[in-house]
Amino acid sequence: MTDCGNDQKWDSYCKRCGLCCFEKIEDERGNIFYTQTPCRYLDVVSRKCKIFERRFEIYTSCIKLTPELVRTLRWLPPDCGYRKMMAGCEDEPEIIPNKRLSKRRRRSG
Ligand code: SF4
């Protein structure tokens, strides 16, 4: 059984692919598009966050992923380690539309 409640273990599910660290646009139909614009703290060569250990302190817009968020966020890529882990921890993650997102919202980090 996967321990979803342990922070260190939880962080280890991130594959450091960096895909979530590019700005995204959501259109009026709710489709998510990844842009070529990375978060300023993403090393685009290694695909690693340059401030990973202190990212929430330095870049306050960076979102701390939790099991609850991973279940609901629509912009995490299908291969995201957290999404895959949740698929093994529970049944298929429940993806629900986030009504609070504007028609066109950019997000990075
Ligand atoms: S998409 Fe998922 S696995 Fe990749 S860097 Fe973001 S949180 Fe980590």
Q: Residue 45 domain-assigned? A: yes
Q: Residue 38 domain-assigned? A: yes
Mean pLDDT of 6-12: 80
Mutation pick for ligand 1 pocket among 23, 80, 108 (CB with most ligand atoms within 8 Å): 80
Q: Which residues make Cβ contacts (< 8 Å) with residue 90, sequence separation at least 6? A: none
What is the number of domains present in the chain? 1
Q: What is the mean pLDDT of the chain?
A: 81
Q: Residue 47 domain-assigned? A: yes
Per-residue pLDDT tens over the stretch 56-100: 999 999 999 999 999 999 899 999 999 999 988 644 444 444 444
DSSP the chain: ---TT-HHHHHTT-----GGGEEEEE-TT--EEEEEEE-TTEETTTTEETTGGGHHHH-TTS----HHHHHH-S-S-TT-HHHHHHHHHSSSPP----TTS-SS--B--
Q: Is residue 38 within 6 Å of ligand 1 at its C-beta?
A: no
- pTM (global) more than 0.75: no
Q: Residue 67 domain-assigned? A: yes
